[in-house]
Amino acid sequence: MAHPRGGHRLLRSLFVIYALEAGAFLTLAPWGRYWTVRVVGRSPERTRPFLASPYFRSFLLGLGLLHLWAAASEIEAWRREPRGDAPAAAPRETA
């Protein structure tokens, strides 16, 4: 089954960009000073222990790695997809 070309490529590109950016942010941000000062420091008093917890930070890191994996697998699928402008390979003869 053939996929529509124009919009499909745009959506896939946008998804890859989103997944890479979200993955990088979720992987790195919870372990930086920014997280401690801006997120934990400005949150309500009742949520601070939860947001500062290494378990919650590790959960966010896991989500970030999941996003990076999704982007990488989409890029790999895109790379393996046959291109419409490439000439078809000649069939090999077996003896």
Segment 62-83, tens digit of pLDDT: 999 999 999 999 999 888 877 7
Within-domain flag for 73 = yes
Q: How many domains does the chain have?
A: 1
DSSP state of 3: P
67: how many CB neighbours lie within 10 A of its CB?
Answer: 20
In a domain, 88, yes or no: no
Q: Decide if 7 is inside a domain.
A: no
Q: Which domain holds residue 70?
A: 13-80
* Cα 7 to Cα 63: distance, rounded to the nearest angstrom: 27
Residue 8: inside a domain, yes or no?
no
Which residue reads 């393996």 in tokens?
80
pLDDT digits (tens, 9 = 90+) for 9-58: 889 999 999 999 999 999 999 999 989 999 999 999 999 999 999 999 99
Asked if residue 91 belongs to a domain, the reply is no
